[in-house]
Chain A
Amino acid sequence: MRLSFSEALLKLAANDPNLYVISVGLRPSVMLDRFSTRFKARFIECGVAENNAAGIAAGLSKSGKNVFLCTYSCFSPGINLATIKQSICLNNLPVKIIGYHAGLLTGELGASHQMLEDIALMRSLPKMEVFAPIDAVETYKMAKVLAKSSRPAYLRLVRPSTPVVYPGRLGFTIGKSPVLQSGKDITVLGYGPVLAQVFSIVTKKSLEIINCSSLKPLDESTILKSVKKTSRLLVVEDHQQNGGLGEAVAALILKSSLKCRFAHLAVKNLFGQSARDPYDLYRLHGLSPVNILDTINKLCSR
């Protein structure tokens, strides 16, 4: 994902002389070395100062530049929420906030660096749109779409290389959640690589897998249409249960008066911890393929 996004930025910057990248002292880790040498004048290094970086991004955007603010999600929005709220959202400036190293997959860096609250923070802000690609392929497609968007946006990326499941022929549209696999027994909804695991599950159940990479705006009609068909819904996310996609979708279902069995796999009010194999953390927090299959079986048992 990181590599895919930096490739996309290089390509976009070559065609858009207004494209600027704001770095917050983590240039090598967010894979911006090549950008920083090729587009030196458009690479703005703020040092490890996230609030200033968000303010610089907003001011640059005000001057008409196409600005990408690139650092770890645990710091942006983790540290600079108030600056994002006022300087970016209240002033309605189309800064693109790229949150790297989100979720438990950040692995050995431990609890401080495993951002599990970013979606909750970002989806609560007026004007802000929120996206989380499932893999490197969708990341690239999203980068191209976001570069043309005239609204503030948050994009959530993860640290390790993850399996590619997104069909190459499928585009990305803001506010659309493509059904990646049609089924009739249960709707499985999520975003990011934790959802990609569902493709590795072997089961006789017919799974309808929806990639909810556009978290805000949410593709309500696709979700409701699927739940109406299956009457069973599992939401899985590498994020706190509080404030995540599960809550958004649960509210949507309740308002719709559809009848549906519902389960939500997410981090339950806990911090992460270090792990050399980040998938150990998925097993610990009940987000592994085995946990997902168990939950599917429970929901389908009646």
Chain B
Amino acid sequence: MNIFRNKKHPLSTVAQEIRLNVLDSINTAAAGHIGGSLSSVEIMVALYFSDIFNFDRDHFILSAGHLCPTLYAVLAKLGKIKYSDLSTFSDFDSRLEGHVSVSVPGVEYSSGSLGQGLSFAAGLALGDKDRHTICLTTDGEHNEGQIWEAIMFANKYHQGNLINIVDLNNQQIGGTTADIMPLGELASKYLHFGWTVETINGHDLFALIKALKIAKASTIYPACIIAKTVMGKGISFMENDYHYHDVKKLPAALYLQAKNELSNPTY
């Protein structure tokens, strides 16, 4: 149960469907970054299925390209690609590359090499000031110096139409972010760099949507939303375990357990 709210958001059923599709596409491919894909589900659901932004006009840049199973599942739900495409994830003759690719309809930026997306988003926001550009980065990605270069740039150019959502799940491929390279208090860092910051529970759709509305209203300052999430959210044995940053094929019993837990969410 969500300890903060009793009421489930109407979009929580969409999030549940996306999670199941993420699990299935990765398990069918026997390869994929499931931990971060699951932690970012509500973020992408809030972006694409609330009416705050319209991604036929506004821009979404997935800087952390390995989270693409979630974006692909969102695009299938939107009808940009077919549901049957999801089972071709990362296969030889599939458009659904293992790291996000513009070969997939609805994707604006090919990535995979971390730390580049925020610069790209800032450039796009600079050239298209009438629209919003929303970038999704991760906490681990903030190891990259280029992220901080982009943070400074967005402040200099008063990019009120730029939003960076940080999926902060405290894990990266080889351990916790605290062990690998401690970020410290991220919100104050963004504040000192001249951004507005909202820190929220990244699985709370009410909070996400509210934060997105506030961020959209910022006209002078670039806006950062720090979404505190749980890596592997929804599958108990994966949650907060960096060993599930990425997976090969799950043993049948674990797959069934994962499917069962995602089908009957307790959060």
Contact = CB atoms under 8 A, between A and B. Distances in A.
Contact of B127 (A46, A49, A64, A85): A64
B146 A52 contact: yes
Interface in A46-92: 46-47, 49, 51-65, 82-83, 85-87, 90-92
Interface residues of A, number: 28
B127 A87 contact: no
B226 interface: no
A59 B110 CA distance: 12
A44 interface: yes
Contact of A86 (B111, B149, B157): B111
A116 to B, nearest CB: 25
Contacts of B150: 52, 55-56
Contacts of B146: 49, 51-52, 55, 83
Interface centre among A20, A57, A59, A86 (most CB of B within 10 A): A59
B170 interface: no
Interface string B139-166: 0000001100110110001000000000
A60 B125 CA distance: 8
B110 A55 contact: no
A83 B118 CA distance: 12
Interface in B69-112: 102, 108-112
Contact of A55 (B112, B120, B133): B120
B59 to A, nearest CB: 8
A220 B239 CA distance: 57
Nearest to A51: B146
Contact of B113 (A52, A63, A82): A82
B126 interface: yes
A39 to B, nearest CB: 15
A58 B111 CA distance: 12
Given A51-B149, A52-B149, A86-B110, A44 B116 contact: no
Contacts of A58: 119-120, 123
Contact of B119 (A20, A51, A65, A90): A51
A63 B119 contact: no
A59 B113 contact: no
Q: Which of B110, B119, B123 has the most CB of A within 10 A?
A: B123
Nearest to B108: A62
A56 B110 contact: no
Given A86-B111, A90-B110, A51 B116 contact: yes
A47 B157 CA distance: 12
Nearest to A83: B116
Given A47-B152, A49-B149, A91-B102, A86 B123 contact: no
Interface string B117-137: 111111111111000010000
Contact of A63 (B111, B115, B124): B124
Contacts of B115: 51
A234 to B, nearest CB: 39
Contacts of B110: 86, 90-91
Nearest to B157: A44
Interface in A80-135: 82-83, 85-87, 90-92
Instruction: Choose among B109, B116, B121, B150 the residue with the greatest number of A CB atoms under 10 Å from its CB.
Output: B116
A258 B108 CA distance: 46
Interface of A: 20, 44, 46-47, 49, 51-65, 82-83, 85-87, 90-92
17 contacts: A20-B127, A46-B149, A54-B119, A55-B122, A55-B123, A55-B146, A55-B150, A56-B120, A56-B123, A60-B127, A62-B109, A62-B123, A63-B127, A86-B113, A87-B116, A90-B110, A91-B110
